[in-house]
Amino acid sequence: MQNLDTAFSALADPTRRAILARLAHGEAGVMELAAPFQITQPAISRHLKVLEGAGLIVRRIEGTKRPCRLAPDAIAPIEQWLATLRTALTANYDRLDNVLAETNLAETERTTHDQAET
C-alpha cells in the first residue's frame, strides 16, 4: 500500500467501505458492485479507481470485464498502525488503573484511620 493517508482517505467514503465489505466475500465485477447502490456505473468505477490507487483492491483484465478483489495484505499496514495505537492506549489505561488503585488504597487507609480515631 502506498501510504496510510491514501488508505484512510479511500476508507473515509461509506460507498468505498461497502464495496470493500462486498469484496471481502470474493471477487466481483463492476456491475455486480454497482447493483446495491443508486449511483451510476461510472461513479462506481471512480470509487474503484480510488480503492485501487490506495492499494486496497486489485483488478485483472478478463476480456471486456475487469473483476476486482481485495489486495493481498492491503490491510496489514493499517493493522500495524492500529496495533501501535492499541499498545499505547493499553499502556495509558494500565497507568490509569494503577493511579486509581493507589488512590482507592489511600482513601481506604484514610477512612480506616479516621474511623479508628473516633
How far apart (Å, rounded) are the C-alpha atoms in residues 78 and 63?
Answer: 33
> Residue 108: is its pLDDT beyond 80?
yes
**Reported pTM:** 0.73
Task: Give the residue from 25, 26, 114 showing the smallest Cα distance to 67.
Answer: 26
Hey, what's the cell of 95? 497507568
Terminal C-alpha separation, the chain: 68
Give residue-wise pLDDT tens across range 29-67: 999 999 999 999 999 999 999 999 999 999 998 888 889
Looking at residue 1, what is its pLDDT?
Answer: 42
52 or 101, higher pLDDT: 52
Report the helix count and the strand count for the chain, using DSSP H and E.
Answer: 5, 2
Could you tell me the sign of the dihedral formed by the alpha carbons of 8, 13, 14, 15, in that order? negative
Task: Give the residue from 51, 47, 50 showing the smallest Cα distance to 70.
Answer: 51
Q: What angle do CA 99, 101, 106 make, to 5 degrees?
A: 95
2 or 40, higher pLDDT: 40
